[in-house]
Amino acid sequence: MESARIVGALARYTGDFALAEDLAQEALAEALVSWAVDGVPAQPTGWLLTVGRRRAIDSFRRRAARDDRYALLARDLEETQPGVDALFDPGAIDDDVLALMFVSCHPVLSREARIALTLRVVGGLTSDEIARAFLVPVPTIQARITRAKKTLSAARVPFAVPEPTERGERLGSVLQVVYLIFSEGSFASTGDTWMRTDLADEALRLARVLVRLAPEPEAFGLLALMELTAARFPARMDADGEPVLLEDQDRRLWDTAAIRRGRAALAHAASAGRGLGAYGLQASIAECHAVASSVAETDWNRIVLLYDALAQLAPSPVVELNRAVAVAMAVGPAAGVALVDAMIERGELAGSSLLPATRGELLARLGRRDAAAAALEEALALSPSPSERTAIVAKLDRLRSG
């Protein structure tokens, strides 16, 4: 939970991104041994940071005993010097997380490497989770992350939030990382839970800081999307932790304050007069759901138009699939099935459970129960998430019992 903040503080302290991550891992390894004997300290984050900085001193000693940087560190690290631990106050390192994100999204890296590295180090996602987000093999992601760390080290990238004039070229990558972290929190791709609200909450915190740091329309569009999506969190799981689909949710549980914040952020994004970007368009779709009293009362025709615009601006198979669902709601399930079948013929989202799961639901609405069951069985076999498989099994049970 604190890994990004610890790595961020140590990166600022040492000026070496790769070393900071190694130091954080060494501190954790020491904690696993020490805490088992002595118990967990009252301030575990501070304990880890203290161990990390001591390991940093040892590292610099080994590298060059007479190095000027070591001499400076040694002078500053006198235990009796007032304020020496101020840099390691857990309550004072929030901005280090954002700085770490901007460092990871440095333009010296390719866009794919920036996002993969930041998701791993800042977001704390596993290589498996990142690979699923990119729809690429796990070894590809691992290689990108390794190369990115070496590139940052070789380029001697300084640890700092860049000046305003330098933020623009990194902002797009930072926004995408925050979005992917939030997406993993909203729909956990691994584990036994349907959502990871701690991850989504951290992404929301970062988005709120970002709109202050870089008040661009697309930053407000992303914040709007996340607020409007998070507003539905209280209704998305039942008392047993089982998922509740949109059509079955008690909308009285939706967070009206989050909806107001999201709509305000969306209005701010639109007020720039440049047209909405990809996040703003998705936020507009989320707004359609937020203001509707039920699934039946939702403005599905407007949602289809918004997906049309999104497909032009940021085309992807997932956008196409969501558009197919919207078309099914606006026109009828047969039209949605035709669009999904066309995607299958083109080989899109091959190996993903999303296509067969969606196709199964649409076929069930058409009354084609056997075909729907076959599609859901295929989705069940492809799904990597226990919570998603639980939801699919529930759909199969309803289909067979109905």
If you average pLDDT over residues 170-197, what whole number do you get? Answer: 79
Which residues are within 8 A (CB) of 281 and not within 5 positions of it... i.e. 6 or more apart? 221, 306, 309, 310, 313
Quick one: pLDDT at residue 371? 94
Pull the structure tokens for residue 99.
Answer: 């700085």
The closest of 255, 316, 312 to 286, measured between CA atoms, is 255
Percentage of the chain beyond pLDDT 90 is: 36
User: Quick one: which of 11, 215, 267 has its CA closest to 118?
Assistant: 11
Average pLDDT over residues 193-219: 83
Tokens of 125: 């996602």
Q: How far apart are CA 340 and CA 359, in angstroms?
A: 7
Q: Average of pLDDT values for 156-166?
A: 72
Is 347 in a helix, a strand, or coil?
coil
Task: Decide which of 62 and 212 is more confident.
Answer: 212
Span of 177-191, 211-225, 348-362 with lowest mean pLDDT: 177-191
Predicted TM-score of the model (pTM) = 0.72
Average pLDDT, the chain: 82
* Beta strand extents in 279-342 (DSSP E only): none
pLDDT confidence bin for 76, thresholds 50/70/90: low
**Most confident stretch, 47-61, 107-121, 220-234:** 220-234
Instruction: Extract the tokens encoding 263.
Output: 């709509």
pLDDT band per the 50, 70, 90 thresholds, residue 92: very low
| Mean pLDDT within 142-168 | 79
Residue 73 has pLDDT above 60, yes or no: no
Rounded to whole angstroms, the Cα distance separating 53 from 348 reads: 48
Q: Output the pLDDT for position 276.
A: 93
pLDDT tens, position by position, 373-393: 999 999 999 887 777 888 888
> What average pLDDT does this structure show over 281-291?
96
Nearest C-alpha neighbor of 184 from the set 122, 93, 100, 257: 122
pLDDT at 95: 58
Confidence of residue 91 (pLDDT cuts 50, 70, 90): very low
In this prediction, residues 290-318 reach a mean pLDDT of 95
Backbone torsions φ then ψ of 85, nearest 5 degrees: -90, 5
Residue 65 has pLDDT above 70, yes or no: no
